[in-house]
Structure formats: C-alpha cells, structure tokens
Amino acid sequence: MRKVAKRGLIQWLLLGGVCCTSSVQALTWNDNYLGYRYGSAFSEPTLTPAISKHIFSYTHASGYTYGSNFLSVDVLRSDLNDPAANSSRGATEFYGVYRHKLSLSAISGRSFAIGALRDVGLTLGADWGSKDDTFAARPHKLRVGPTLSFAVPGFLDVGVYLQQEWNHNGIMGKDVSFAAAPLLGAVWNIKFDESALPLEFKGFLDYSGPKGKDGFGSDTRDELLMRVFVMADVSSWFGSKNTLWIGPGYEYWHNKFGNQPGVGTRASTPMMNVEFHL
C-alpha cells in the first residue's frame, strides 16, 4: 500500500502542474533546451578513483498566470571507475527533477512585495532516478514548502522544505524508506545583459538534514549539494540570441546521499556545460 500511495503522489506532483497550465491557463513563457556537461573528478561513495562522466540532459521551464514549472532529465554515463553491475562498461544513471511553484500574489490578487522580496510561493517537487551499478539505487523524493522570490535581474528563489525519500539498496537487496527531513534550498539565474556577450550566473544549492537510518542501518548525516555555472550566449555573436550557451561549472557535494564522511562521499568537480535552446 505504501508503494502504491507513493507512486500515486509522485504522479500527481509530476502531472499536476502540467494539467493546470494546459486546462486552466495558457503558458505565458517557456524555454526548452538540450544540454551536455562533462567533468573528470566526480566521486561516488566507496569508490576511490576520480570518475569521468558525460551527462546529457533535457530541460523545460515555463510559466503561466498562477505559477511556474521546471522539469529536467539527466542521463549520466560514467567511465570504468564507476562500473555497471556485472559488466565491463561504466554505469548509466537516469535522474529527473520536477518543480511546480504557485505564486501567492497571483492566486490571492494581493502583493507580497516588501523591499527585495518579490513574491511568496508554495513549491511542490519530485525527484526520481535509477542507476545500473551494484548498489542499484532507485531514488524517489517528494518535497513541499514555502518559497521566497527575490527581485534580481532574472530570478532568485529560496525556500524551506520538508523532503521525504524512498530508495533501493541492491547490496542488501531491500527497499529503504528514509525519515522525512528538513531542507533549505535555493535556485537562481542572474542575468548580465552585456552588449558584447550576454552572461548568466545560474545554479542551485540544497542543504538537507539527516534522514534517519540508511539501508545498512547506519545513521545518515546532513548533506550539501551545490552546482553553479557561468554561461555565455555565444550565439549572440552570430545574430541568433539565446540559442547556444557555453560556460564552465562547478559541483560540490558533501556527505553525498547523506553518507557518513568516508571514501567518495565528498565531490569537488569542475565541469564544462553546453546548452542548445530550442
């Protein structure tokens, strides 16, 4: 029953925002792009060598009268330092993120703007993924909580959420239901409209508290994940703005997956990123 209820709630979160925008309000803006990023210093728990990964992605962002949608799906291909189970190739991982933010100003017809604060919202989100290594992780996460939107060139959202995670431990051969945990999250895209070359500073940061026991019975730890990019619209040089963005990025992951400090639980990864906007 728990699995059925969880899947039903995840489906509601994933489809609810899309249904709202299609049946209630037309989209007021949208952006779709294909992405590729590469780094050679990724880490995975218990694995000693630095891992190279090619990451292919599809991202959709859109807005409508009462809020916004964000959907991103990554396909991560590791080298042999992160092997697939019973295979001579590197592991493949799929990971998807969906966020739906409702604007309280738009819903209520009242302004919540005070100083640098632009709006107050409610964010509903879901993560889902799978990986074909020995651990065979199948994470499913739900989050909900208030979000503050700040007045910047672009956007800056900061929220406090409650997150619940379910996963699979292939080594122990069992599913794991973690305890709900508080999470402080921020996401931003700051625009710099330079005449010669438009730039943006984008990224996100999630800091979550311990989530109870893991699949081995060990206590989990607080976890920090930050990913940032400085991107340049190189297509503007060729008279086609907002088509091809290229730039460096950096990912920092502390106590990865909530693990105790140890081999592979801390990642400090420079990378390059390319986005082709459709």
59-89 exposure pattern, b = at least 16 Cβ within 10 A, e = fewer:
bbbbbbebbbbbbbbbebbbbebbbbeeeee
In one-letter notation, the amino acid at residue 257 is F
pLDDT of 97 higher than 80: yes
- Alpha helix locations (H) across 24-153? 104-108
Cα separation, 214 vs 193, whole angstroms: 46
Report the domain count for the chain.
1
How is residue 58 written in tokens?
């599809």
pLDDT (tens digit per residue) in 190-239: 999 777 789 999 999 999 999 999 999 999 999 999 999 999 999 999 88
pLDDT at 32 (0 to 100): 98
pLDDT tens-digit profile of 137-156?
999 999 999 999 999 999 99
Measure the N-to-C terminal CA separation of the chain; round to a whole number of Å. Answer: 41
Mean pLDDT of 234-259: 95
Q: Tell me which of 278 and 6 has the higher pLDDT.
A: 278
Q: What is the pLDDT of residues 13-46, one digit of tens each?
A: 545 544 444 444 689 999 999 999 999 999 999 9
**Pick from 158, 161, 213: nearest CA to 188:** 158
pLDDT band at 240 (very low <50, low <70, confident <90, very high): confident
Residue 2 has pLDDT above 70, yes or no: no
Residue range(s) defining the domain that contains residue 189? 2-277
Q: What angle do CA 243, 102, 232 make, to 5 degrees?
A: 20
Confidence band for 127, pLDDT divided at 50, 70 and 90:
very high
Could you tell me if 249 and 42 are in contact, meaning their C-beta atoms sit under 8 angstroms apart?
Answer: no
Q: Please classify residue 199 by burial: count the beta carbons closer than 10 Å to its beta carbon, then call 0-12 exposed, 13-18 middle and 19+ buried.
A: middle
How many residues make up the chain in this entry? 278
The distance from CA 212 to its chain's CA centroid, rounded to whole angstroms, is 22
At residue 12, the pLDDT reads 47
Q: Supply 212's token pair.
A: 């109870």
- Per the CB < 8 A criterion, the answer to whether 75 and 93 are in contact is yes
What CATH number does residue 75 fall under? Answer: 2.40.230.20
Cα angle at 26 between 153 and 20, to 5 degrees? Answer: 100
Query: Is there a contact between 51 and 78 (Cβ–Cβ < 8 Å)?
Result: yes
Dihedral class, residue 46 (left if φ above 0, else alpha if ψ from -120 to 50, else beta)? left
Question: What is the rounded distance in angstroms from the CA atom of residue 57 to the CA atom of residue 59?
Answer: 7
Tokens standing for residue 229 = 């990019």
Cross-strand partners of 154: 190
CB 82 within 8 A of CB 47: yes
- Of the two residues 114 and 16, the one the predictor is more confident about is 114
Cα-based angle 224, 227, 233 (whole degrees, multiple of 5)? 165
Contact between residue 199 and residue 189 where contact means Cβ atoms under 8 Å apart:
no
CB-CB neighbours of 135 under 10 Å: 20
